[in-house]
């Protein structure tokens, strides 16, 4: 068992810098497209044998130091009773948006094993196959709430902020319900065998620091606090969160994820003894090979003072990235950091 990634999460010394990539299983891999050719995305998420197969694909092809469970952050929102569909080219869609008390009352706090047993089954199957640690995950409450309130992806998050500012009690009520669901869901993943848990806060970067502190951070703290007895390392990734980094330290996470909009040296100075994960611009994978290696070398040099460092992209890998470019980056991290 290769435990380099686990050690880095705990801030322990490692022989080399471990690497994985957010959204490493997905459409940029032809072997993923092949599996997806016969089945819808949601059906794929609910078929453990196929989830195992696509989880393993990037680990095998690219030699990643960690695997991430194949699922989606919106699966538990569906289990809460929000009807979810994925449309080609448009992403996730919730038809019944949550914008009033009646909508909120209709949401349930589901039993994770009873409603999302396929996720826990995927984890149990993966643990038998894997030689690297398995990351379980969930969306952070704020990011999940934006999907329920907007009804899908958004550019302005008008409805979300409108609810925050005009119906704060309703907004907090929704956040509480999502938090209860998410905590139980992550506890179930831990029990099934997940070895690290990552919380994805993809949209929280739209908030002013004062609103992050009031409307989003307390719920992340509740989840991470509730996971303490699992003793698993927790990663909190606040996308577009450079301006929220000082507050994010208070999340209680062991590792903070960084996007690419911050210099990693600045981040190290600001976070003290937390481990860091990131922060290559995903589009930098398109650099010519030599330039890509040079950029990775600079990042590795800059990160030597971190209290634990995991190489990753600053956000998910883009669907048109050539897999060989991703492989070149993984190899460069391994070679240049002394593996
Ligand atoms: O290796 C992995 O990371 C795969 C597991 C995974 C998926 N989604 C599979 C997926 C993870 C960890 C996620 C997280 C996720 N899902 C996030 C947080 C990370 C981020 O990117 O900010 C968010 C915001 C979502 C919601 C979501 N799921 C959107 C907006 C979309 C549509 C846009 C897109 O990228 O396609 C999805 C669909 C989705 N989730 C796909 C995959 C592989 C593509 C589905 C397909 O095959 O068509």
Rounded CA separation 46/64 (Å)? 24
Q: Which pLDDT score is estimated for 124?
A: 98
Q: Which of 22, 118, 316 to mutate to test the pocket of ligand 1 (most atoms within 8 A of CB)?
A: 316
pLDDT at 339: 74
Ranges assigned E (strand) in the chain: 67-68, 84-87, 91-94, 134-139, 196-201, 234-238, 255-257, 275-280, 309-313
- The pLDDT value recorded for residue 88 is 85
| Best probe residue, ligand 1, of 21, 22, 23 (max atoms within 8 Å of C-beta) | 23
Q: Which whole number is the average pLDDT over 288-305?
A: 97
User: Cα separations (Å) of 123 from 126, 236, 289, 314, 338?
Assistant: 5, 20, 35, 25, 31
What is the chain's length?
A: 339
The model's confidence at residue 65, banded by pLDDT at 50, 70 and 90, is very high
Q: Tokens 């039993």, residue?
A: 111
Three-state DSSP class for 196? strand
pLDDT digits 0-9 by tens, 97-108 = 999 999 999 999
CA–CA dist 326, 154 (Å, integer) = 28
> For the chain, which domains are there?
4-336 (3.20.20.210)
309 is catalytic: no
The three-class DSSP label of residue 310 is strand
Pocket of ligand 1 (CB under 6 A): 22-27, 36, 41, 68, 70-74, 86, 91-92, 137, 153, 200, 202, 239, 316
Q: Which two tokens stand for residue 332?
A: 């460069």
Rounded to an integer, the average pLDDT of 191-205 is 98
Q: Which tokens belong to 274? A: 């937390």
At 90 the pLDDT is: 85
Per residue in 71-97, pLDDT (tens digit) is 999 999 999 999 999 998 889 999 999
Contacts of 210 (CB under 8 A, 6+ apart): none
pLDDT in tens, 110-168: 999 999 999 999 999 999 999 999 999 999 999 999 999 999 999 999 999 999 999 99
Residue pair 209/22 in contact (Cβ under 8 Å)? The answer is: no
- For the record, the structure tokens of 112 come out as 């994770």
Tell me the pTM: 0.98
CB-based burial label for 120 (10 Å; 0-12, 13-18, 19+): buried
Beta bridge partners of 198: 137, 235
Tokens representing 207 are 């908030």
Task: Please state whether beta strands 275-280 and 134-139 pair in parallel, antiparallel, or not at all (unpaired).
Answer: unpaired
Let me know if 147 is a catalytic residue.
yes
| Side-chain half-sphere exposure of 308, counting CA atoms within 13 A | 22
Q: Are 200 and 234 in contact (CB under 8 A)?
A: no
Please confirm, yes or no, whether 61 is among the known catalytic residues: no
Residues contacting 299, CB < 8 A, separation 6+: 264, 279, 280, 311
Compute the distance between CA of residue 27 and CA of residue 302 in angstroms, rounded to an integer.
31
- Nearest-atom number in ligand 1 for the CA of 69 is 5
Phi, psi (rounded to 5 degrees) for 52: -60, -45
Alpha carbon nearest to ligand 1 atom 48, residue:
41
pLDDT at position 38 over 90: no
Q: Classify residue 30 by its DSSP letter.
A: H
Q: Using CA atoms, how far apart are residues 113 and 105, in angstroms rounded to an integer?
A: 22
Give distance in angstroms: CA of 45 to centre of ligand 1.
11
Whole-number pLDDT of residue 133: 98
Q: Give the span between the Cα atoms of 276 and 257, in whole angstroms.
A: 6
Residue 37 DSSP code: T
H and E: helices and strands count for the chain: 16, 9
Using CA atoms, how far apart are residues 118 and 115, in angstroms rounded to an integer? 8
Q: Which of 3, 10, 16, 23 is catalytic?
A: 23
pLDDT in tens, 227-269: 999 999 999 999 999 999 999 999 999 999 999 999 999 999 9
| CA 288 to centroid of ligand 1, rounded, Å | 27
């Amino acid at each position: 068992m290769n435990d380099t990634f686990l050690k880095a999460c705990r801030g322990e010394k490692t022989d080399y810098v471990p690497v994985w990539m957010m959204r490493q299983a997905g459409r940029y891999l032809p072997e993923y497209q092949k599996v997806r050719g016969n089945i819808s995305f949601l059906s794929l998420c609910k078929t453990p044998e196929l989830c195992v197969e696509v989880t393993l694909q990037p680990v095998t092809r690219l030699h990643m130091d960690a695997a991430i469970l194949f699922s989606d952050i919106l699966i538990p929102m569906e289990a809460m009773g929000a009807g979810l569909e994925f449309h080609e080219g448009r992403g996730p869609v919730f038809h019944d948006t949550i914008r009033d008390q009646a909508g909120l009352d209709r949401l349930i706090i589901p039993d994770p094993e009873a409603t999302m047993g396929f996720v826990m089954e995927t984890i149990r199957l993966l643990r038998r196959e894997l030689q690297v640690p398995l990351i379980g995950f969930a969306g952070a409450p704020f990011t999940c709430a934006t999907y329920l309130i907007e009804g899908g992806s958004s550019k302005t998050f008008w409805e979300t902020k409108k609810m925050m500012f005009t119906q704060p009690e309703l907004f907090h009520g929704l956040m509480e319900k999502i938090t209860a669901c998410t905590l139980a869901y992550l506890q179930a993943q831990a029990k099934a065998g997940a070895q690290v848990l990552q919380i994805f806060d993809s949209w929280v970067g739209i908030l002013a620091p004062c609103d992050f502190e009031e409307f989003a951070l307390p719920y992340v703290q509740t989840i991470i606090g509730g996971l303490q007895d699992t003793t698993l390392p927790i990663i909190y990734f606040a996308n577009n969160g450079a301006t929220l980094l000082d507050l994010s330290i208070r999340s209680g996470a062991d590792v903070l994820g960084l996007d690419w909009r911050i210099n990693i040296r600045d981040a190290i100075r600001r976070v003290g003894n937390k481990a860091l994960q990131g922060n290559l611009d995903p589009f930098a994978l398109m650099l010519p090979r030599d330039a890509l290696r040079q950029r990775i070398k600079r990042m590795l040099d800059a990160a030597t003072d971190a209290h634990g460092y995991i190489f990753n992209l600053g956000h998910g890998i883009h669907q048109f990235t050539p897999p060989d470019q991703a492989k070149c980056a993984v190899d460069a991290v391994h070679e240049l950091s002394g593996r």
